[in-house]
Structure 1
């Protein structure tokens, strides 16, 4: 026995998808709230995309990008404000307080998570159908990652809140990697802690060293809370969607190892 199993987050660990997710969210927001964009010109759209790169660390699931786009418009255009939190709000404050802001705006805008997830997925599907090369080109794998995946000697699983069909398409088109469908745990397969429990219980994984690489500190902290997951080595990717403050906090947590991109690629190989 022996060997290694790596459970890998997708966005922020393997792939920088911020350009694509921000543009898809803008397209979807225009469909969901067309009245909101009457006063949004191309310059403001560019500003929104720029701010979305700053705010990306707060996004756990893709649909949240739509909420962020709308909130950014409300910051800039007081006449369209429907939320109590927008007045005086800054991008920095959103970054610090997103977990408190999100339920407030969902309620005040009368939005439902599943409907936003469906819309976000539909917009991406239409972009892929109409302009595959444009959609693919809005994503990029981090340097060295594609080769590391292709030549990995470890057992690899993708554990992501991205819809599996999009992760699979990007693995194939950008990285030249074809993983069996049962190795990609995407949106709808349950919380990541539950997926890790499933993976460690599989008979074929007994005796393997277990590693989980993530770029969200909150997710790693959730794993630490689960006593049954004590056997996993946990890594926070420095290159991913996290902040300097989160990286500093991670350094104070014994279970978490901070990982540089070059070391990550070496580990997979």
Structure 2
């Protein structure tokens, strides 16, 4: 085992799961709001899925995909609107203001994150049970990642807002990689900054070089705010779910290193 420790985000760093998460969110939205989605055409569904790929950089936790699906429906179908923000709302505005929009629509739609998290997980579980190969095929690992993980000399941890069981299933099925469950910190294990504190405090990690790879700039900025985490090397993956504007901002932050996919794979090996 090398003297490097890599804490890796999952979606947007290891796995491009946007196709699966968008389709799962659409399935879940039909269950959560059946009256709204009963007359949605296949053409409108395709438009929603296309826009979800554009909007993926704003998603921090999976359940937000359901909110985006419904918001896109309200943008496209005025008579279904039950929120105050949908009128005149553009895709660009969602990218810019999602942190402001999310609490407004959740309040206006009377939704709780815990309920949406449970529903989103249940829909994925049912899809896996009924069509495992279809669920797996809706995601892909970024080129070179599977081999890099399989032959990594560094100590690897997964730190993600994805539910651990889904990350584990994709690692096994797409990459043929088994990462011990105690090294996968998924949804419910606490904020990422707290997980990083926990990892650096473990006796077996003393003396290791610490690296954290993310695709969300805001997460890295939260790490920078914590003096206790000054020892971590921070990387923003160019290939992940981030925008050109975010990458330009990252270049102005001394702690954050912009990372290309090929360089990342070689670092793990």
- Short-chain TM bin: over 0.9
Q: Which runs of 4+ in 1 moved over 3 A?
A: none
TM-score, length basis structure 1: 0.99
**Residue of structure 2 equivalent to 1:206:** 206
Unaligned runs of 5+ in 1: none
TM-score, length basis structure 2: 0.99
**Residue of structure 2 equivalent to 1:186:** 186
**Residue of structure 1 equivalent to 2:12:** 12
**Residue of structure 1 equivalent to 2:171:** 171
Contact 1:2 1:209 (C-alpha < 8 Å) held by counterparts: no
Structure 2 distance, partners of 1:2, 1:75, is 51
Between 1:37-46 and 1:191-200, the stretch displaced more is 37-46
Cα offset, 1:37, TM superposition: 1.1
1:17-49 Cα shifts (integer Å, max 9, x gaps): 000000000000000000111331000000000
Secondary structure of 2:257's match? Answer: strand
**Residue of structure 2 equivalent to 1:100:** 100
Structure 2 distance, partners of 1:112, 1:2, is 43
Unaligned runs of 5+ in 2: none
Name the count of aligned residue pairs: 269
Structure 2 distance, partners of 1:241, 1:61, is 13
RMSD: 0.8
Would you say 1:229 and 2:209 are equivalent positions?
no
**Residue of structure 1 equivalent to 2:267:** 267
Secondary structure of 1:56's match? Answer: helix
**Residue of structure 1 equivalent to 2:246:** 246
Contact 2:25 2:65 (C-alpha < 8 Å) held by counterparts: yes
Cα offset, 1:2, TM superposition: 6.9
Would you say 1:141 and 2:141 are equivalent positions?
yes
Secondary structure of 1:89's match? Answer: coil
